[in-house]
Amino acid sequence: MKKDPDAILNSPEFKALVARQWAVSAVLSIIMLGAYFGFILVLAFNKAVLGTMLTEGLSLGIPVGLFVILLAWGLTGIYVFWANDKFDSAVNAIRQSLRRD
């Protein structure tokens, strides 16, 4: 298969693939960064909030921390689910069309 990389780069299919991959990666990264640094900033500026007791033996900080941990896992799960299905089929479609040319 011999093809000019610039031509592929400028093809609408490839551009759409890149744009979608970027959108998914960027949104998920921003959610993660926002959640983690948000958590850190609350700790730095108003840590008393996280020490609020919800019930005996449970402060607000514990479910919040657990949420950040589960969010990190959940976001990687969303990415894998999207990439192994949608992204890979788009990649395969472009590869197929390159082979045909």
* Residues that bind another protein in the complex, under the rule CB under 8 A: 1-3, 5-6, 8-9, 14, 17-18, 21, 24-25, 28-29, 32-33, 36-37, 39-41, 43-45, 47-48, 50-51, 53, 55-59, 61-62, 65-66, 68-70, 72-73, 75-77, 79-80, 83-84, 88, 91, 94-95, 98
Residue 37: CB minimum distance to another protein, A: 6
Secondary structure (3-state) at 75: helix
**Hey, what long-range contacts does 70-79 have (CB within 8 A, 24 or more apart)?**
71/31, 71/32, 71/35, 72/32, 75/28, 75/31, 75/32, 78/28, 79/24, 79/25, 79/28
Cβ at position 17, least distance to another protein in Å: 6
Q: How far is the CB of 94 from another protein (least distance, A)?
A: 6
